[in-house]
Amino acid sequence: IAKILNKPDDAEHYNQLADKIQNAFDKKFLKEDGTVSTGSQTAQACSLFHGMIPAYKQAAVYGKLLEKIKGANDHHATGYLGTKAIYRLLSDRGQHELAYKMVTQKDCPSYGYWIEEGFTTLNEMWPGGKGAGRGGSNNHPWSGDISAWFYQYLAGINADPQQPGFKHIIIHPMPVPGLTKASAWHRSPYGIVRSSWRI
């Protein structure tokens, strides 16, 4: 933001501060084998997703994340913060089919599980069963980022980071085996953006 506002002194100050924060984070939380903090899916995914891992350690951290997912029988074991990061990270790093499998698993925890249980809204908690209401809201926004994953990755509607606000549009759908069609639309400041594909 400081760069955009043409404040080079502020930009330099915050760049230096960011470097200090990353170094302190690495020193405290990043282990030699690529484990971050407790090694949870959330710790591994969020640290990569938010750019906290130096380039030479990213493969090790990502490998630990994949081990954790495999250990959970290809389910996520994340909460609010990790759920947003894990699906995007997997799709961005060549594991899009795994991300889709995790989203559509029919047992808990998964969005597919909620569909199997008849839910039409997003719950606050993963467990539950029919009529849940046990421990939280049955219409909760925390898990709603999956909608963005659907239109950005499956349908492929993306704003160009170099020209924010959909001034320039990138359409890049990512089909997966077993999914025969996808369509989405977004109301941008410049009009409706649509993407649709069928196999």
Per-position pLDDT tens, the chain of length 199: 899 899 999 999 999 999 999 999 999 999 999 999 999 999 999 999 999 999 999 999 999 999 999 999 999 999 888 999 999 999 999 999 999 999 999 998 999 998 998 888 888 877 654 554 456 778 888 788 999 999 999 999 999 988 888 999 999 999 999 999 999 999 999 999 999 999 9
Amino acid at site 178: G
- What pTM value is reported for the model? 0.89
Find the angle CA(145)-CA(113)-CA(47) to the nearest 5 degrees: 40
Angle between helices 80-92 and 55-71 (to 10 degrees): 110
Measured CA to CA, the distance from residue 199 to residue 182 in angstroms comes to 9
